[in-house]
Structure 1
Amino acid sequence: MSVQTVFALTSARSGTRSLSELLKRNASDCTVVHEPNDLNLRNPSMFGVPIYHNATGDLDAVRTLLHRKRQTIAAYGTSTYVETSHAFLKSYWNLAPEFFPHTKVFHLIRNPLEVALSESNRECWMVKRRKYPVRYRYRYYRGSDGRRYRRWALTELEPIFSHFALAELTLFQRYLIQWIKIENRAMKYLRRFDMHTRCMTLHTPQDLNDPQTAAAILGFVGVIRPCDLELPGAQNRAAPGYATVVGEDEVCQCREVVAALPSTYLEIFRHEPYAGQDWAPLLSNRQPEPSE
């Protein structure tokens, strides 16, 4: 049986859990997974080592996991499989068409300063309280170079990080740089594989609790819509004691990041689906660098 697959182009803390809940509550004949558990060896989460392998060019190691993932998805026995994990753009976006050639994607976009602040706050809280869930209990792994890497993040071996003195970056700035890289990958993926007509863009959190958009989401996935939609509400709240309220300090840190980046990383924010957002000027206010 041919299975329709749907994945997510996004970063963490961008509404992926809410999207999965919306689909779980309203979609029939559809397997919906937010993030596969790292202990589920049949359906690899694609966090951790696969991110490192993709960054260092060991693509065959990633392919081995994707082969297993494809077999598991087929074995679920439903007509549609949706996975809203943010691992897609971190570890296998460039290989996905080999294994899932007819997939669709959701592109979830949240204010990047809120994403970076939420990610850094959550990490600080989990470390402080030792509240990592099982999947993140071992929140670091070692690459073949012997160095430690965050399990759910980019490796910082990616070229975008070469424009910074990593030791001088705040945790907020590291996650902001990651967000910028992830969005550039999203645009590259859509262009390289001609995916624009198979992509639905969602601005979160607002779109996920709008009844009209929620109905469109179900239509995009291709499932039968129930008479009464059940909206998900907030699903992955801010860490206790850490409000996701962007202040002047975060804006200043953002400006430092933007000032250090070549304009090629920022060009996408001059255009849709970013240009109409109130935060876009913070990332797109640089003029193109003069050609030599």
Structure 2
Amino acid sequence: MALKTCLKANILLILTVISAVMGVTIGLLFRQLHLSGDTILLISLPGDIVMRMLNMLILPLIVASMITGIANMNSKSSGKMGLFTMAYYISTTVIAICIGFALVFIIKPGLHDTLTSSGTQSEEFHAPSAVDMFLDLIRNLFPDNIVRAAIQSSHTVYVKEDFNNIKKESPDEYVLQNVTNSTFQVESDGRNITEDRKPTWTPKTVNRPGFNVLGMLLYCTVFGAVLGKLGPKGRVVFKFLVELNEITMCIVHLVMW
């Protein structure tokens, strides 16, 4: 009876594990058939739909659960929980970055293609440094637009600039302009001076598609802490978010089934 009750209570987990094992097994068998790309796309369509539905539910689930969870605590507990959440996310992200750097140095992905090509790939791309990634974490921690944080996150990219033309604005001032070559001439005291300059890589912050989890966590933590301090004044918003959390969890359960 106890085993039957346990199986009934965890039937969804058991079916998920069985499905994963079946998927890996069937996938390895299908590799021997050398299926076409269109066939593989058709086979992967149901899984893509499931993942799209789960991704759709991430935003309401995080917002509702975080705010209601923090608002239910007292001010001291909510502050500790918020700090713990942020520290946990930042530490795991830093660990992931370190693992990524270690794997890049060990595996060196793309090195063979770069050596066999004309060598232009390394000249046309500049990878962000560890400092850039750390600064991106700080920027994403404080989003400038909470709506955009739900669909975009900040990243640092390097833009190649060739400064090889100088335009004289005043007797003692020259302004560099972007052109295609790497050699420019300037006139100084009636003499032509030819000078070569290497292109420079300039860091720029851009927004890329992707959920800014860190910024949303911080916003929801502060929102929940303030909502908890409002007391009766914030009961309407609190009840709405509680019901939103319940509805979202029910939809997640249906999607998993």
Sort the TM-score into its range (normalised by shorter chain): under 0.3
TM-score (norm 2): 0.24
The structure with the largest alpha-carbon Rg is 2
Which structure: greater strand fraction?
2
TM-score (norm 1): 0.22
